[in-house]
Amino acid sequence: MQLFPRALNKLGLAVAVGSNAALVVVVCLFWYYGSPKNLQVGYAPLQPVPYSHRLHAGDLGIDCRYCHANIERSAHAMIPATQTCMGCHSIVKTDSAKLEPVRDSWKTGAPIEWTKVHKLPEHAYFNHSAHLAAGVGCVTCHGRIDKMEVVRLDKPISMGWCLECHRDPSPNLRPKDQITNMNWTPDMAPAGWQPPKVNPPTNCSGCHR
Amino acid sequence: MSKREPFQFEEPKASGAQVFWKSLEEKNAVDAELTSRNKAKEAEFPLGVAKIDEGAVFAPSAPAAKKAMPGEMSDKISRRGFVKFGTAVTALFGLEACARRPLEKLVPYTRSPEYVIPGISNHYASVTNRGGEAVGLLIETHEGRPTKIEGNPEHPASRGGTDGVVQATIFDVYDPDRSTGPRKNNNDAKADQLYAEFGALLAASDKDGGATLRFLAPRSNSPSFVRLRKNVTDRFPNTRFHVYDATSNDNAIEGARIALGQPMHALVDYARARTIIALDSDFLQTEPGMIRASRSFADGRRLRAPTDTMSRLYVVEPSYTTTGANADHRLRLPARDVERYVRLLAKEVAALGIDLGPIAASLGNLPADGIPENWLKSVAKELVDNRGRAVVVAGRRQPARVHALAHALNAALGAVGQIVSYGSVVDPVGYTNNNGAFEVDAAASLSALVADMDGTKVQTLVILGGNPVYDAPADLKFADKLAKVKTTLHLSEHIDETSSVTSWHLNRTHELEAWGDQRSMDGTWAIQQPTIAPLYDGVSDIELLAFIASKAADGKAPRPKGIDIVKETLFELSSPQTATTWNQFAGQIDGDHAFSKQWRAALQRGLVVGSAPFSFTPGEARGKEIADALSKGAPAGKALGADNVEVTFAACPKMVDGREGNNPWLLELPDPMTKIVWDNAALVSPKTAGDLGLVAGDMIELSKNGAAIQVAVWVQPGQADNSVAVTLGWGRKKAGRYGNEKGFDVYPLRTSDSSGFADGVALRKTGASYTFAQTQEHQSMEGRPIAIDATLEEYRKTPEFAQFRTPRPKTLPLWNRQNYSTGHQWAMTIDLATCTGCNTCVIACQSENNTPSVGKEQVAKGREMLWMRIDRYFVGTDEADPKVAVQPVTCQQCEEAPCENVCPVNATAHSPEGLNDMAYNRCIGTRYCANNCPYKVRRFNYLEFQGGPVGSSVDTMYGDLPETTKMVFNPNVTVRMRGVMEKCTYCVQRIEEAKIGSLRSGKPLKDGAVVTACQQACPAGAIVFGDLNEPGSRVAEHKRRDRGYDLLADLGTHPRTTYLGKVRNPNKEMG
């Protein structure tokens, strides 16, 4: 007696092909949707103070280094101290409700706890000063901060993305006086300017220690 | 398929080559027909890795079961437990995938502190006291938290070097078991209340001038301490300061007083000495001034070319020390007989026409038993031949008369003024000065204090530092007497043995938290700067003294501040003639005042300009006084034998006198000679062990006059027969979580009259046994030519002796070699002729690279994590009296690295600058690389040794890593997790920092811009690091030297770290 119909003979093949195809689809989905490019970019957490880079850096045109003062010397860009905010806001907008946490911090001495947006793994040692010294502009990694009301992650900052530039840095280099210029494009370079010959590391210990 | 012949090793034992061995087991194994070493090779674990039975005894107090450290991982996980954990972990991973990445906070300053830029380290000049010598330091801080200690290159007692203990003291600041506040009768107390009570007590003492008030403190180097003590005795004319230090330098100081009339420190310029006789003196490790001595000793033995000369070191000692390991000739002699030796030697010297004056008649007629004739005749001849460049150095446990005789010999041989100079003792407490003649003030001793502690004469005792309940001589019964004193106050960093029995305890600030000042033996005055605000408030010794001296000490007035005290002392030094007092003066000065400038310069440079040297010249050696001292104390006693052994007490190179008792870095640091970790041991010679039927690990009882201690035995080649060596500072009961019950407390056997050594000790085998953990055989190199040495004569004949023994391979490499001719090419050389094996680099590396300590049990399994190790080989065929060679080994950074080829995930790869990089996050923990490494320098994190990821509560060896302990980490080096391989990186974080600095400034890197941690700390300057491609770099010059060789060159790994062969300078006449 035939328990199973003849058509079932093809089932094995169908399962084999189908499961492989499903596997490929799943891998591809993870490959794309699971990558930092998809998962991380666009991360824009609310901050304790509704600080607007669009207003300060964009409309008012304050240079990045006014607040991120030691960026040319240190590895860290540094969130400015409450002191820096109060430098202006003890005179400007002294009664704004949005600035309440800043004034509180100044009064009590308790620091403002900002939420980290650009997060590198702890075994990656990124150095801001090295990149600035080489002539990489702020906008290259952080995007148009001057147009952001709330800071959002603009680039995937994954290792593959870092290496793209480390392997061929010259398209991302600019004259050193244009580092903080958000609007700079290569055609604005002075005549005869050539990107400096930098030799960024592509070996492990360049970033991992 | 063609068959390739396996590469033939050159037979290492070629003509003239020495036999190298690491332990008695290995040597016996080599000698035996069917070697147990071959068996060991087949076994999974090498020799020396203890086979741990379930019932192995790890703590002396727990005879039956091993006592796990708090939170220590147990091996006994049941299968059910494993499945349970496995399931839970899998489930948690699943859950974690649903969560968004953790929210992280960025916390900026509210008000930015001056000079602090996050990400950039600051360095502060400071100073520390190491056994009587003040060592200038530079403290690296990150955002206000000290993380690393370096030597101050400008300070003469450091010249940029440190020692291992100094390197490790950074951990002490963050020791989780530090005392966190004052205590009264072992209960927490409020500081203000305690000060008020103490102030009232002091006020009451004013009536009788402090007749019942006493002070006990170790000898200080601090001018402020000395000044304030004067203020205290001005307020309380009838009080008395007593001095006690378990590992004091008092014999040496007293010897100088006998010989020269003044308590003084002798400073030897070893660099210019040609002949050095060390009499039981470990001047390269445990004696004060070790850093200065190591540098200057190495300077006398740096060989650039075969035409150079080097000094010759004779050592007479009972037990192998670092100094003995560097000796050209070493005589093992019980400590008791060292005096006999020097008396006989002095006689020989006198016989050769050197005038010793009245001393010659007082040397006595002693037999020369056990002393070979050439050790008298030939050594005396060499001393006399090298007049002016020959020096005799006595060790601090030898009696003062031996020191006095050494001074006399040095004076008679013309060394004084040539290579021996003298420095004042900053604090001559214990001496009274009657018209320029110093007399011993016995009333200032600890025994005088204890005699008065009868319940009436001493009502209040203030103990400023030290730990006398633990380390006072046993015969004084200090603890019992202390109970009779009504009020006792102890100032210390821990609730230690003393603090837990005193009525009051004040928590002391760490040296890195407090202001202070120290003078070196040569007089250099340095300011101790705080580098962090006191973690637990606390008070320093000078602040407490100032409080006691101030009449307004009622607890309400503001307590004196360290900075004012130190400034005032310096002010008195710089303008002693002015009538203005500091208080009047301080209000008037501004930043432009000369004193302010001097103060700032002192802080900046780390020393007060023009403060050294102490300006005085010693007079003639006082022959009569020395002769008196020698004829009073003649060495005598029953002949040593199995029933009458000698016990020698030495300061531990790690624990010192016990003060570092809770420092896991030092606890786990292999002892320089025995390589034992987490323990001390009773060292006996192979012959004594044979006579008494002892094997390593046997428990013995040493007893004398009713006092007894139980210690486990270790059989140590080079140990004098019938002499048992023990080190102080172990077996602490109240050290803290790391140090409690580690090793054996030997203080109960140590009495006032036998603080250095005791003879007439009975030795009994108890029958119990004990398991040591030691690293002697770990990473063994199977008898191949690793450490290579030659005599000076051989070196002159064959300058390339080292390369001849390690020929390059005859086969071609498997693939084309990378081109290393451009860019930076980092490399290192280690000069074995100057390396003393002192362990400093090992701790410096641990501190710089966040390497964990793993605990005794893990070390016993061969899982130690130190990136550097110092191999100690015994050399020669005589197992009772071999020579020693030491060799620091760390990742060799092979150009053809065998580890890289076997990594399945490319976690270890080569950089274009010649570094063998390690990417921790790629590592999946196959350990193939470690298996394939011929140098055995890779370390694997078998467990979560450093605490889990932030916020997790993974069990570590010590339980959760305390918050304070995390503060010791170097922020520029990843803290590695479980399952990851790691190894020396050539301090790549320092390389990158220097390279980025050069990118920023646009200036090319200069030679010396990158200094590795080991190189920086090395007191001998034996390690050189730099860029091979830079013309004229020091490392390139060292690489070209004739003594250079690659470790296991025949493997064709082309290591970047190379060695310069060791050269010994034996005297032909010694045979």
Residue B641 DSSP one-character state: B
Dump the DSSP string for B58-109: -STT-SSS--PPTTPPPS---HHHHHHHHHHHHHHHHHHHHSPPPP-EE---
* Rounded mean pLDDT, A50-73: 92
Record: contact B106-A114, CB cut-off 8 A = yes
The highest-confidence range among B432-441, B624-633, B726-735, by mean pLDDT, is B726-735
* Rounded mean pLDDT, B776-804: 81
Helix or strand (DSSP H, E) at B30: helix B24-31
For B440, the 3-state DSSP assignment is strand
Contact list, A75 vs chain B (CB under 8 Å): 119-120
CA-nearest residue to A106 within chain B is B110
Whole-number pLDDT of residue B85: 66
Q: Per-residue pLDDT for B27 more than 90?
A: no
- Least Cα distance to A176 among A195, A160, A158 occurs for A195
Name the token pair of A188: 């604005």
* Alpha carbons B1011 and B148: distance in angstroms, whole number: 14
Record: contact A112-B108, CB cut-off 8 A = yes
Record: contact B915-A205, CB cut-off 8 A = yes
Contact list, A115 vs chain B (CB under 8 Å): 103-106
Record: contact B917-A208, CB cut-off 8 A = yes
Record: contact B996-A129, CB cut-off 8 A = yes
A contact residues 9-48, partner B, Cβ 8 Å cutoff: 45
* A78, A125, A203 ranked by CB distance to B909: nearest: A203
Q: Does ipTM come in above 0.95?
A: no
Q: Per-residue pLDDT for A88 more than 90?
A: yes
Whole-number pLDDT of residue B227: 92
Q: What is the pTM of this model?
A: 0.89
* Alpha carbons B572 and B578: distance in angstroms, whole number: 9
Q: Per-residue pLDDT for A190 more than 50?
A: yes
Whole-number pLDDT of residue A3: 82
Record: contact A125-B989, CB cut-off 8 A = yes
Q: Per-residue pLDDT for B950 more than 60?
A: no
Record: contact B104-A115, CB cut-off 8 A = yes
Record: contact A209-B985, CB cut-off 8 A = yes
Record: contact A201-B911, CB cut-off 8 A = yes
pLDDT, mean over chain A: 91
- Least Cα distance to B524 among B420, B605, B433, B429 occurs for B605
* A80, A112, A134 ranked by CB distance to B999: nearest: A134
- Output B738 or B8, whichever has higher pLDDT: B738
* Alpha carbons A196 and A187: distance in angstroms, whole number: 16
- Least Cα distance to A86 among A58, A59, A49 occurs for A49
* A81, A205, A209 ranked by CB distance to B110: nearest: A81
Nearest-CA distance from B840 to chain A in Å?
A: 23
Contact list, B103 vs chain A (CB under 8 Å): 45, 115-116
* A106, A114, A122 ranked by CB distance to B110: nearest: A106
Judged by average pLDDT, the poorest of A128-132, B104-108, B459-463, B890-894 is: B104-108
Whole-number pLDDT of residue B340: 93
> A70 touching B, CB under 8 A?
yes
Q: Which of B109, B905, B1001, B1005 to mutate to test the interface with A (most CBs of A within 10 A)?
A: B109
Record: contact A81-B917, CB cut-off 8 A = no
Characterize the bridge pairing of strands B145-151 and B133-142. antiparallel
CB neighbours of residue B692 within 10 Å: 18
Q: Which of B850, B980, B999, B1001 to mutate to test the interface with A (most CBs of A within 10 A)?
A: B999
Name the token pair of A19: 């499961």
Dihedral angle, C-alpha B413, B418, B423, B428, nearest 10 °: 10
The pLDDT > 70 percentage for chain B reads: 87
Record: contact A114-B101, CB cut-off 8 A = no
* B104, B111, B913 ranked by CB distance to A81: nearest: B111
Contact list, A36 vs chain B (CB under 8 Å): none
Record: contact B1000-A129, CB cut-off 8 A = yes
Dump the DSSP string for B920-958: GGG-----HHHHH-TT---EE--S-TT--STT-----BT
CA-nearest residue to B1002 within chain A is A133
* A74, A105, A110 ranked by CB distance to B119: nearest: A74
Burial class from Cβ neighbours inside 10 Å (0-12, 13-18, 19+) for residue B209 reads middle
For B766, the 3-state DSSP assignment is strand
Contact list, B981 vs chain A (CB under 8 Å): none
Record: contact A201-B107, CB cut-off 8 A = no
Label residue B612 by pLDDT band (50, 70, 90).
low
> Which residues does A84 contact at the CB level (< 8 Å), separation at least 6?
A66, A67, A69, B112
Nearest-CA distance from B260 to chain A in Å?
A: 56
Whole-number pLDDT of residue B556: 63
> A96 touching B, CB under 8 A?
no
The pLDDT > 90 percentage for chain B reads: 60
Judged by average pLDDT, the poorest of B6-10, B125-129, B698-702 is: B6-10
Q: Per-residue pLDDT for B53 more than 70?
A: no
Whole-number pLDDT of residue B960: 64
Whole-number pLDDT of residue B337: 92
CA-nearest residue to B1001 within chain A is A133
Contact list, A84 vs chain B (CB under 8 Å): 112
pLDDT per position as a tens digit, B317-334 = 999 999 999 999 999 999
* Alpha carbons B900 and B893: distance in angstroms, whole number: 11
> A148 touching B, CB under 8 A?
no
* Rounded mean pLDDT, B238-251: 91
Whole-number pLDDT of residue B49: 45
> A201 touching B, CB under 8 A?
yes
Residue A59 DSSP one-character state: I
Q: Are B1023 and B868 in contact (CB under 8 A)?
A: no
Q: Are B805 and B1046 in contact (CB under 8 A)?
A: no
pLDDT per position as a tens digit, B360-399 = 888 888 888 889 999 999 999 999 999 999 999 999 999 9
pLDDT, mean over chain B: 86
* Rounded mean pLDDT, B27-47: 50
Record: contact B999-A76, CB cut-off 8 A = no
Judged by average pLDDT, the poorest of B163-167, B217-221, B589-593, B1046-1050 is: B589-593
Whole-number pLDDT of residue B592: 73
* Rounded mean pLDDT, B14-19: 53
Contact list, A111 vs chain B (CB under 8 Å): 107-110
Q: Per-residue pLDDT for A73 more than 50?
A: yes
Label residue B953 by pLDDT band (50, 70, 90).
very low
Label residue B816 by pLDDT band (50, 70, 90).
confident
pLDDT per position as a tens digit, B993-1010 = 999 999 999 899 999 999
Nearest-CA distance from B924 to chain A in Å?
A: 15
Contact list, A203 vs chain B (CB under 8 Å): 909-913, 915, 917
Residue A187 DSSP one-character state: G
Whole-number pLDDT of residue B31: 62
| Sign of the torsion angle spanned by Cα atoms B211, B215, B221, B223 | negative
CA-nearest residue to B1000 within chain A is A133
Nearest-CA distance from B940 to chain A in Å?
A: 16
* Alpha carbons B470 and B489: distance in angstroms, whole number: 16
> Which residues does B816 contact at the CB level (< 8 Å), separation at least 6?
none
- Least Cα distance to B678 among B694, B661, B695 occurs for B661
- Count of A-B CB contacts under 8 Å: 125
Whole-number pLDDT of residue B67: 39
Nearest-CA distance from B1051 to chain A in Å?
A: 26
Record: contact A130-B996, CB cut-off 8 A = yes
Record: contact B119-A112, CB cut-off 8 A = no
The residues of B whose Cβ lies within 8 A of any Cβ of A are 101, 103-112, 117-120, 823, 909-913, 915, 917-922, 972-974, 985, 988-989, 991-992, 996, 999-1000
Whole-number pLDDT of residue B315: 96
Q: Per-residue pLDDT for A24 more than 90?
A: yes
